[in-house]
A and B are shown apart, each in its own frame.
Chain A
Amino acid sequence: MEALLWLAVALPALGAAATLLVPRPLAGPVAVGGAVLAALPAWVLLAGAGAGETARSALLWLPGAGLELGLRLDGLTAAMTVTVATVGLVVLVYATGYFAEHPRAPSALAGLLAFLAAMQGLVLAGDFLTLLIFWELVGALSARLIAFSREDALAPAGAVRAFLTTRAADVGLYLAVIALFAATGDLAFGAERPGGALGALVGLGLVVAAIGKSAQAPLQTWLSGAMAGPTPVSALLHSATMVAAGVYLLARSSDLLAGWPLEVAGWVGALTAVAGAAIALAQDDLKRVLAGSTSSQLGFMFVGVAVGGPAVGIFHLVAHAAGKATMFLAAGIFQHARGTTSLSELSGAGREDRTAFAAFVIGAASIAAVPPLAAFWSKDAILLAAEENPAWLVLSLLAAAGSAAYLLRPALVLWRGTPVGGPRRAGRPAMLAGAGTLAAASLVLGFAGAPLADLIGGPAPGSSPLSVGLSLGALLAGVVAVLAAPSLPPRIVALARAQLGATAALRALAERPLLLAARAADALDRTRLDAVVDGTARGGLALAALSDRIERSGIDAAVDGTARAIGRGGDRSSRLQSGRLHEYLRDTVLGAAAVAFILVLTAVL
């Protein structure tokens, strides 16, 4: 069992390497083969967990600090790993079709496989440290994947924004881990939240990290920008796996987050559910509608974990993964047909490719909570659990109505309009296969609720007549709204398109102050610190010049002066030797007289 844990993480990585190394024609099959192989351990682990097995496998990393890296098998990780592996396999099959005519196809496939490895590591992590490491890996790899289509000018920018936003939120996770370690010295799951300031830091940090990763308000803007990446990436990362990591984090640490942190998460989720729906309604680009929808649905999941426990949230996660990924894969088929994802240019594309459109409709119906499709049951479970919290219930119903509306709108656009009818592209079979598989999954996953609850623990997601009634009512309301009022007022559209002001707020609150601080620091460095260094250098030079001057004017002058004085003395004394006899005689006489006088006087006196 332990070996399977490591295999689940290692096989996708090996598959990525293999995809890059084999010759180009083999890259697709090798990638798919790798994904199939990588899915096998996941299913075996699920079987094992279902039979009640748990396992742990750890490597001692820093024995002195008691830190270790490890993977673990329990109900939650088993559910997540199967989701990741299966959706990953389907998307990979789809990607071989999507990238069929792309010059850098092997690189894309390898990137997807590498991402799968990191995601598996995240969901299989056995303690917070391992979770943190894979969390960061997932973020880094996702940015690379988004920036893959670098021919599109928006893609690198979107990748940078995604990376920066999620990374900034990840600081919360860092702080939480550090605080937890500082408080208890133990980073295992399932502990109780420590008290005091450190405990508050733990709770807050985890919630912030989840908000960032799951594109909840006010950090939801990066998801729209990430849509500039290739569609398979959007399908895998931004509907099923990476963004779901935030929900997984909440589910994993629900013991740590008991109390006010879960309340906060619930409120954020509820508000985002509504905000995301509003944004999705106003978008003009199909993928951006789906992005807003993802934010909204993730908000639902937050509410689910907050009120109903981990099983409720994960149920919706799995259902949403199937439905949303289907829609993204279908959108990718339309994208290849029309060369764009802009709704105004996609009208009638559904009529052209009815198979793809059928998949799209199935996925949309699931997300819009049309019974008996999967997401109906999971959303219903959330509404049931939210009945305890009226405010959240109202917000959820609003969001449910919104989800119906914003999904019906693109569907109508795709159906109405005249088909253009172009040639069928290569790779379409693979793409259809992928979309079809997930559509089928959306049909049947509604029955996964109870088994999931058994697996993960916690109350089973159920339904009540009230919740079903409210849910259907919301669905009807949304449908009627779209059919009756075809367009929204322009001001609201503009506001929604501006992400309800979140972008501007972030720019004012975060970007500008940081840039100002950076510029100030640079100015400080240039004027003060550099000045100190320059000043020291100049001081040194001045000191050198001064000592040179001292030496030259003082010491040298003294030496030269002495030499000159001696020379002058020599000159003057040479004048005594005038050659004139009389002067010699005179000097002799005077000298002798003086000596004699002294002698005599001393003798006399």
Chain B
Amino acid sequence: MISLPVVLVFAAVLFGIGLYGVLGQTNAVMVIMGVELMLGAAMLNVVGFLRFAAQDSTSGAFFVLILLTLMALEAAIGFGLVISTFRNRRTAEVDDLTDLSG
């Protein structure tokens, strides 16, 4: 039966996958993709709570709206940075960006 824990587990697994992408991928664009997935998992969480715990909460839905906005914004800025990096260094690999080492 679909219940809150089920949804939450799904969200958890999705979060883990997203985390795998963030931590494991070398390309910056793939990292941003991982972040998208993580945000998606968060949204799934909220929706699950909306459905099973706080059905008359409009502010919950609004929260998801905001998360969605955040997803888009973050992707936009992220891609702008990728362009700038690629322009200056001809690479979008995260491993090459080690200027802050030490």
Contacts and interface: CB of A to CB of B under 8 A. Distances in A.
A424 interface: no
Interface in B47-98: 94-95, 97-98
Nearest to A582: B23
Nearest to B28: A581
A589 B102 CA distance: 21
Contacts of A572: none
A202 to B, nearest CB: 104
B19 interface: yes
A585 B101 CA distance: 14
Contacts of B94: 580-582
Contacts of B24: 582
Contacts of B99: 579
A589 B31 CA distance: 14
Contacts of A589: 19, 22-23
B100 interface: yes
A213 B60 CA distance: 139
A577 B23 CA distance: 16
A547 to B, nearest CB: 43
A575 to B, nearest CB: 9
A577 B19 contact: no
B99 to A, nearest CB: 6
A582 B19 CA distance: 11
Nearest to B94: A581
B22 A585 contact: yes
A574 interface: yes
A586 interface: yes
A574 B95 contact: no
Given A586-B23, A589-B23, A581 B102 contact: no
A581 B30 CA distance: 13
A579 B23 contact: no
Interface string A315-346: 00000000000000000000000000000000
A578 B98 contact: yes
A585 B98 CA distance: 14
Contact of B95 (A577, A580, A585): A580
Contacts, number: 30
Interface residues of A, number: 10
Contacts of B22: 582, 585, 589
A137 B95 CA distance: 112
Interface in B1-35: 19, 22-24, 31
Q: Which of A578, A581, A586, A589 has the most CB of B within 10 A?
A: A581
Contacts of A580: 94-95, 98, 101
A504 B10 CA distance: 130
A235 B95 CA distance: 126
Q: Which of B19, B97, B101 has the most CB of A within 10 A?
A: B101
B10 to A, nearest CB: 19
A589 B23 CA distance: 9
A577 B97 contact: no
A24 B7 CA distance: 144
Contacts of B95: 580, 582
A581 B92 CA distance: 12
Bin chain B's interface residue count: 10 to 19
Contacts of A582: 22-24, 94-95
B27 to A, nearest CB: 11
Nearest to A586: B23
Contacts of A581: 31, 94, 97
B101 A578 contact: yes
Contact of A579 (B19, B31, B98): B98
A387 B22 CA distance: 147
Interface string A564-605: 000000000010011111100110010000000000000000
Nearest to B34: A585
Contacts of B97: 579, 581
A582 B30 CA distance: 12
Contact of B100 (A577, A585, A586): A577
A574 B23 contact: no
B93 to A, nearest CB: 10
Contacts of B101: 577-580
A568 to B, nearest CB: 16
A467 to B, nearest CB: 132
Contacts of B100: 577, 579
Nearest to B98: A579
Interface string A422-462: 00000000000000000000000000000000000000000
Contacts of A585: 22-23
A574 B101 CA distance: 8
Nearest to B99: A579
Interface in A531-581: 574, 577-581
Contacts of B23: 582, 585-586, 589
Contacts of A579: 97-102
A585 B25 CA distance: 12
B24 to A, nearest CB: 7
B35 to A, nearest CB: 10
Nearest to A581: B94
Nearest to B100: A579
Contacts of B31: 581
A228 to B, nearest CB: 103
A379 B101 CA distance: 129
B79 to A, nearest CB: 16
Nearest to B19: A589
26 contacts: A574-B102, A577-B100, A577-B101, A577-B102, A578-B101, A579-B97, A579-B98, A579-B99, A579-B100, A579-B102, A580-B94, A580-B95, A580-B98, A580-B101, A581-B31, A581-B94, A581-B97, A582-B22, A582-B23, A582-B24, A582-B94, A582-B95, A585-B23, A586-B23, A589-B19, A589-B23
Closest 5 CB pairs of A and B: A579-B101, A579-B98, A579-B100, A581-B94, A586-B23
Given A574-B102, A581-B94, 14 more contacts: A577-B101, A577-B102, A579-B97, A579-B98, A579-B100, A579-B101, A580-B94, A580-B98, A582-B23, A582-B94, A585-B22, A585-B23, A586-B23, A589-B23
